[in-house]
Amino acid sequence: MSTEALRIVWIYPDLLSTYGDRGNMLILARRAADRGIPVETYEVRSDQPMPHTADIYLIGGGEDGPQALAAQRLITDGGLHQAVAQGAAVLAICAGYQLFGHSFYAKGAKCAGLGLLDITSDRGETRAVGELRGDIDPRLGLPPLTGFENHGGRTHLGASAAPLARVTAGIGNDGQTEGAWAGKILGTYSHGPALARNPALADLLLRWATGADRLAPLDDTWADRLRGERLAAPTPA
């Protein structure tokens, strides 16, 4: 891995990539390149060692079986823990978000998580599927989140994780809050194209990873228009 470029790792695309999660890596790489920041992207499969020297790590959504396997392998490998301890930025989505916590349920069994986010997930009585919207923690200074969720689990935050957003439509963690953040780790139930729909989240990760206070604005007309449409749409029942 080069030291000059911004290094982005997509964790286990062979296990956790049910919802077009690759798009999030493409968005990050493109938005960095458009600012003249050199980027290198790496896809690290579950049979490969996890490098600990990258700047941004992405982990996506998936079914219970691959989710449990991914958690076991990441715990055994230890590279991701080292990267986070060294200050890497992380975007963790749905199954990836749950497994960043202390524990989660997969196929009815309680599984150990990585313990890198102060959250625990348990089983919900219903599956949360559909539109997800929320007002993002004002400390992050971002426009409202819009996205799509599809998960069975429900997530509870401990004292050292803050909700990413207050839910205005959908379920998120528990019908009240959505996602979590702590340090440079961002977790959300908003699926695959989360960064395409919420480019401000991509820029937050880029700022965390580069240490830049601000980044040159890009033309986000289409994403802004879509957000406007979604926020104006009737709240799903």
Residues in binding site = 127
Annotated binding site for substrate: 127
Per CB under 6 A, does 182 bind ligand GLN? no
Instruction: Map the footprint of ligand GLN across residues 81-140, applying CB under 6 A.
Output: 94-95, 98
Catalytic residue among 52, 94, 111, 151: 94
Per CB under 6 A, does 199 bind ligand GLN? no
To the query of whether residue 111 is one of the catalytic residues in this protein, the response is no
Instruction: Map the footprint of ligand GLN across residues 7-66, applying CB under 6 A.
Output: 61-64
d(CA 59, CA 66): 12
If the CB atoms of residues 61 and 134 are measured against ligand GLN, the closer one turns out to be: 61
Question: Can you give the chain as a three-state secondary structure string?
Answer: CCCCCEEEEEECCCCCCCCCCHHHHHHHHHHHHCCCCCEEEEEECCCCCCCCCCCEEEECCCCHHHHHHHHHHHHHHCHHHHHHHCCCEEEEECHHHHHCCCEEEECCEEEECCCCCCEEEEEEEEEEEEEEEEEECHHHCCCCEEEEEEEEEEEEECCCCEEEEEEEECCCCCCCEEEEEECCEEEECCCCCHHHHCHHHHHHHHHHHHCCCCCCCCCCHHHHHHHHHHHHCCCCC
Per CB under 6 A, does 193 bind ligand GLN? no
Catalytic residue among 52, 111, 151, 191: 191
Per CB under 6 A, does 152 bind ligand GLN? yes
Per CB under 6 A, does 188 bind ligand GLN? no
To the query of whether residue 191 is one of the catalytic residues in this protein, the response is yes
Per CB under 6 A, does 150 bind ligand GLN? yes
Task: Choose the stretch contacting ligand GLN; rule: CB under 6 A; options: 32-40, 144-152, 167-175, 228-236.
Answer: 144-152
Say how many residues touch ligand GLN, by CB under 6 A. Answer: 12
Per CB under 6 A, does 172 bind ligand GLN? no
Contact positions toward ligand GLN, by CB under 6 A?
Answer: 61-64, 67, 94-95, 98, 150-153
Q: Name the residues annotated as catalytic.
A: 94, 191
